[in-house]
A and B are shown apart, each in its own frame.
Chain A
């Protein structure tokens, strides 16, 4: 029967990861419990089950796991809060958003602050729990278990913090984009309306603030040309054409400048991200350096005390020698005296 099916070319192979190969024999176990109970009743073995069960249930839960569970529920609350407001938070970029869902920047800052305070309190709580756990417990296994539980909680907290920092990074990027857009808008106006010299000059100064010095030289030339052009009140057609060409050139230069500035801002964001990574690493090393500092301080103290002790010893040694000398001299004098007395 199976051989004929083998001719069929269809071969649907679904991933079998959802199948459960294990057999649940909990029901069988419960049935055995009942069997044993009836058997015991038949034989007459009695035991007071009910009272003990109530006692067992009211066994006090150890403080540690209750507190740990509390920390976890707090972190989950934070996560839900962040996810709930994520859409509104992140919708900074769209200018066409309806008033209902829009969040003011104040609200966003508020959320940032709240989230940071919350995360800080959570990490404080974890640290406290760790100290408590180390102090209290006697058994090595329980200590290891609690350490591992706290590690798990920390990893969870870190995941939630990552959510928050991603949100924040998106927000910052969108703010930067918005600022860039708003800056480009007046330049666009200037090119179309062909307004007088003043506006290009303002843009040039604005651009100079944010761009490299090499551009300044390029900007310098058109300024000179403009100043020369001011001398004549009337503008001849050639001069008009020349001014138009200047305009075109300026516009293209400004565009290239704008592109470069955009690139630079993007890189700055990247640098800030890198900075975050480095700061994290530095903070990690801070604790180690603290430890080393403590050790070094202890070592200097020990060395100082050692010096003191050596000085004392030298003094004692010297004093001891003096006394010995004195004693010997006295003995010899006494001998001489006795000798003289005797004779």
Chain B
């Protein structure tokens, strides 16, 4: 995996936008204009990777949704990037009949079936537009890459493959098959884009195993089909001279239910938890948030602002995994550096004004000319930097407001203590009955984590006490029913989730003195420092990558699609530790696990870890799913 997944997908997209020809390096080439048509899936795939400006640079003049009203624009070639579903095919046939564009280059996000292809063919014949359909491609890009080493499967209809959909009690076999097929299709596209055939390991007896079996079968069929195999020929030769195959670990959400509910302290995970953050885009309401409007007055109009957090934003790349107080300090530092540079430029202006009067100082003038040139050329960079600093200031302030109003630092500390089974200084009941510590949802999350991580279930009387306290605080108790069931089930399976080695050290007074100078007034918010700790998923990965023997993972099944015959054994044939790994969580993932894996990869130099999940859900969404499950 020399190039990251994100780069590979971007290159594939750019290639597609250039009519599937390799893009030329010549910068002064003639412009060729085209129109891009996508459906919602295509939009989700393209939007984290390419900005509108980049699309314009590639010659895309218009980008439109497939199912919107489109006017005919003759003389322009159109590129379609859609999923091969019934309605999309119908709409394409309609476009062909209405003669909207000059030529059509159809790209399907995942493979299209023969019958649907014939539908398009007959529509094209009926409209006499066969010559206009210039190219038809299967792009195999049915996954969304959010970061260099993180991907998710879908965003549009994620309820269809969410944890709730997979685990609900009234699920039918056909539904389950459909869900598994969707997941396997996307994973297959992922491996085609990566250009590697992995070694698959999965636990037994749950959804992850089903996915692994299907994926193994699909990869095997494709490899055997010598004519059409996607993994041979140039693809293999250029991409895989590294003789190590990556390890693909499938995990099920059920192995670790506490992490999605956990309150977090790192920047990116906090934004996902607290603000509206989807596909690398934050949507916030601007305007004075704190003061309550006087009764009877019209509420102040708040305008919504959208911010894109992209790979080009260096501050974001550096700090998305840092604990929040560090982020606050860094923003302050960046602001100071920016102000210093701004002052330099202004100072230059005054020097220039003075020098005009002094005759005998042309030598000094020449020095200033150089400074002026550098100042003028660095102005756009400075403006860009200012914009980024503003962005992060706004986002961080919003997050900080939430932290202060909901006392999230208290929750975080307490949950860390719960998960590491260290001594608790405050009783759970106190926190739950505390009226101004967080929303009812926060309290529910805390209690669920307590329930999940407790070695033995609390006694009936305690439970009743907690329940009344929670009801007083206004919580909904249905997730608790589901968690009880889940706990009983996992007790039977005898694999208790371990969260050892986690811990937290509050920094208290000293940090408060340090922070008093910073713009973000952190009084009352403890400065917590995270110690290195491993979540269950990270531990599983560690065991499998390093071939360590551990009762948890010894029972995992082993699949190698390149072997001639599939085996039922779980004895790996490859004894060497792996250098590259892909972790995929079936049933929902979150940024906390992602961050943990990134830290792990940094700690073990030379290993590359990619994190994937079937859908990204923050704690609120996950709690909602649990309550839906608990109500049935």
Contacts and interface: CB of A to CB of B under 8 A. Distances in A.
Q: Is chain B found bound to chain A in the same assembly?
A: yes
A32 B118 contact: yes
Interface stretch (A22-30, A102-110, A221-229): A22-30
A19 interface: yes
Given A16-B3, A29-B133, A2 B28 contact: no
Given A16-B8, A36-B125, A142 B574 contact: no
Given A22-B20, A148-B56, A212-B360, A12 B238 contact: no
A193 interface: no
Interface string B1-36: 011000110011001100010100001101101010
Contact of A3 (B15, B114, B365, B576): B576
Most chain A CB inside 10 Å of its own CB: which residue of B114, B122, B576: B122
Contact of B573 (A3, A8, A62, A142): A3
A256 B20 CA distance: 61
A334 B238 CA distance: 115
Interface string A30-46: 00110111001000000
A62 to B, nearest CB: 6
Contacts of A35: 118, 121
Nearest to B111: A23
A182 interface: no
Interface string B183-213: 0000000001101000000000000000000
B235 A19 contact: yes
Secondary structure dominating the interface of B: mixed
Interface in A57-109: 59, 61-62, 65, 72, 76, 79
A300 interface: no
Contact of B245 (A2, A32, A37, A53): A2
A141 to B, nearest CB: 5
A176 to B, nearest CB: 15
A160 interface: yes
Given A8-B243, A19-B195, A141 B71 contact: yes
A306 B232 CA distance: 81
A67 B363 CA distance: 53
Contacts of A14: 2, 238-239, 241
B507 interface: no
B477 interface: no
B114 A22 contact: no
A336 interface: no
B275 interface: no
A273 B377 CA distance: 12
A2 to B, nearest CB: 6
A294 B128 CA distance: 53
A36 B122 contact: yes
A340 interface: no
Interface stretch (A200-208, A259-267, A314-322, A325-333): A259-267
A338 interface: no
Interface stretch (B57-65, B161-169, B250-258): B57-65
Interface stretch (B136-144, B281-289, B443-451, B610-618): B136-144
Given A23-B138, A26-B135, A29-B136, A3 B574 contact: yes
Interface string B102-128: 000001000110100110111011101
B30 A21 contact: no
B128 A52 contact: yes
A52 B27 CA distance: 41
B410 interface: no
Contacts, number: 201
Interface in A209-255: 212-214
Contacts of A273: 373
Contacts of B15: 20, 22
A264 B365 CA distance: 9
Interface stretch (A112-120, A150-158, A283-291): A150-158
B74 interface: yes
B102 to A, nearest CB: 9
Interface residues of A, number: 72
Interface residues of B, number: 80
B112 A25 contact: yes
B28 A267 contact: no
Contacts of A159: 27-28
B140 A267 contact: no
Contacts of A214: 360
A144 to B, nearest CB: 6
A274 B372 contact: yes
B45 to A, nearest CB: 13
B363 A260 contact: yes
Contacts of A267: 365-366, 369-370
B28 A29 contact: no
A145 B73 contact: yes
B76 interface: yes
A10 B243 CA distance: 8
Most chain B CB inside 10 Å of its own CB: which residue of A35, A47, A56, A141: A141
B346 interface: no
A32 B114 contact: yes
24 contacts: A2-B245, A3-B575, A6-B576, A11-B243, A16-B195, A18-B22, A19-B195, A21-B8, A21-B193, A22-B137, A23-B137, A24-B20, A26-B134, A29-B136, A35-B121, A36-B125, A141-B62, A141-B71, A144-B61, A148-B33, A266-B366, A267-B369, A274-B376, A277-B376
Interface of A: 1-3, 5-8, 10-26, 28-29, 32-33, 35-37, 40, 47, 49, 52-53, 56, 59, 61-62, 65, 72, 76, 79, 139, 141-142, 144-145, 148-149, 151-153, 155-156, 159-160, 163, 212-214, 260, 263-264, 266-267, 270-271, 273-274, 277
The 5 closest A-B pairs by CB, nearest first: A148-B61, A12-B241, A16-B239, A152-B31, A267-B366
